[in-house]
Structure 1
């Protein structure tokens, strides 16, 4: 078992992969909280990181009086802060005279819609195999970890339609809460990425396990007909306005804090 102090004066307890003896676990906690340094830390928080939840749950059921009352309360009433692959993080707030200000785990999902327009004034649209409606929509999906927005849009368009595209600019983004997808129900930000086809002679090849059909639709038909939802019509109208003014949200790379990151800002290419 490894016990360290974080920069906020909290205590992080990392449990080993092997089974933990309940008595030794409690004795180690007692030694930790009896040290002056850790007493100061105990005023902020208590976090357990582990790949093995069963030993922890066993410890919660013990009746030891050797642990400080605040710590014992945390052990008996744990709060699951979040879980990731191979890790469960529990959080306990010890001070009774201060508010728990540990941030909640990230609660916003990021998605992209690839709005591909060709030189024939057509927009590339798809119908999903497992869709909420029968409307045509933009190809797109979730942004992967470590992936830039425009790269995600290009990838999703390629996966769903087989079309290679290049980045033009961000048109707009949508933000709403309680995304109605089972298991998520988090806030959602959806970026509309304007793209151009790399090769207009390229043939559509759908991703059969997710997409039932894909096709180029004349923009005027898309806006005037009933095959596209009003929501997606709004995206197309916004893209057309950006093209007419030649103004987009575009990307540049900067370096700070020993890492390279993306900066997005409005740019007029006239």
Structure 2
């Protein structure tokens, strides 16, 4: 779900202590990208026997970017009535939700507890749904307060934890955190019909001593094709050019009970001299294709056998996989990689076709 910082609120809430015609002002910033903002509507509160209050809205567009606030004023029971209570700074997303600005959270746990409750009440009154709260590493003491206020853990990354709160009395529609890890396996075969294989230092006992394809996990924000090229280079020192994704495997309840996508990639070698990464790899070599296939592990494991058969079929031009193409989408105005094959099969000349230079697209 895309989260867009298109609007930001910075309103004040009213005090619960008895007041008569107390005037509180709150500011509503609008479209930081456009450099426009609203003049704050006035909030008139009269605390009579009926506890009524009224809102008077007045909009005024001005030019120039609004400066970022450094702090938040907080009202406590002992705060003079001249002080005002502001809600947490938050950006409106495209799904009637709010993203709280982590850099503007109160430093005090007591202040955070009070202003968080006021903010949630206000946002619920305004019909907001999903609230996103990022708490930075240095603000860890605020996490228990948020949990007690109805937030739940969503995901964590180095430096922060993300929590969410669903305000409506209906099933939560917020998306889950990432559910998959993505890995690649590289089938690199040279003109002598030799396959680049490695023997890993650390692996499950059932795979100990097995010659296998170079494999690894894709880094954050890394493409499948560039990840495959990188893994081969890191493990063996061999430079390669990406050809195709020939197949992929989908498994569940793997690492940390996450699902796993594993892409089998065809690469063309651009160098021949092997230089292994000794921290991960015990050995690497160019192994004749027949010798690779003849390994007992490869013959007995249906998954490995099928993957190898597909790669051999691609090498012999009896099969075509998916090539990467950089394409712009109007949905998010971003370049993305679309993997697809061709409708026509190439002539069977017994050699691999030249790869498309994806970095030039």
Classify the TM-score, shorter chain: 0.7 to 0.9
What residue in structure 2 maps to residue 232 of structure 1? 304
Listed one character per residue, the Cα deviations across residues 8-34 of structure 1 (whole Å, up to 9, x for unaligned) are 112322343776224432443354355
Output the CA distance in 2 between the equivalents of 1:211 and 1:233: 23
Task: Please tell me whether residue 243 in structure 1 is matched to residue 315 in structure 2.
Answer: yes
Give 2:140's aligned residue.
54
| TM-score (norm. length: structure 1) | 0.83
Give the Å deviation of 1:5: 2.6
Residues 225-234 or 253-262, more deviating: 225-234
Which segments of 5 or more consecutive residues in structure 1 lack a partner in the other structure?
61-73
Specify every segment of 5 or more residues in structure 2 that has no aligned partner in the other structure, as ranges.
1-87, 348-361
Matches within 5 A, 1:1-270: 1-16=88-103, 20-33=107-120, 35=122, 39-42=125-128, 44-51=129-136, 52-57=138-143, 59=145, 75-96=148-169, 98-132=170-204, 133-134=207-208, 135-179=210-254, 181=255, 184-199=256-271, 202-226=272-296, 228=298, 230=301, 231-244=303-316, 245=318, 247-256=320-329, 257-267=332-342, 268-270=345-347
* Offset of residue 115 of structure 1: 0.5
Give the 3 Å change call, closer, same or farther, for CA 214–233 of structure 1 in structure 2.
farther
Contact 2:124 2:167 in 1 (8 A): no
> What is the distance in 1 between the residues matched to 2:140 and 2:259?
31
Distance 1:45 1:258 in 2: 25
Distance between the aligned counterparts of 2:185 and 2:121, measured in 1? Answer: 55
Aligned equivalents of 2:91, 2:145: Cα separation in 1: 20
SS at match of 2:322: strand
Distance across 2 between alignment mates of 1:115 and 1:5? 46
In structure 2, relative to structure 1, the CA distance for the partners of 1:86 and 1:162 (3 Å cut) is same
- Distance verdict in 2 for CA 1:22–1:166, change over 3 Å: closer
Instruction: Compute the displacement of 1:144 (Å).
Output: 1.5
Matches of 2:113 and 2:107, distance apart in 1: 10
In structure 2, relative to structure 1, the CA distance for the partners of 1:77 and 1:150 (3 Å cut) is same
Greater relative CO, 1 or 2 (CA 8 Å, sep 6+): 1
2:135–2:143 CA contact under 8 A, matched in 1: no
Partner Cα separation in structure 2 for residue 29 and residue 209 of structure 1 = 48
Any idea what the Cα deviations from partners look like across 1:117-153, whole Å, max 9, x if unmatched? 1111111111111011222211021112222211111
SS at match of 1:160: helix
- Aligned equivalents of 2:176, 2:142: Cα separation in 1: 22
Deviation at 1:246, TM superposition (A): 5.2
Compared CA separation, residues 185 and 53, structure 1 to 2 (3 A): farther
What TM-score, normalized by structure 2, do the two folds share?
0.63
1:59 Cα deviation from its structure 2 partner: 3.0
Higher-helix-fraction structure: 1
- Would you say the 8 A contact 1:112–1:141 is kept in 2? yes
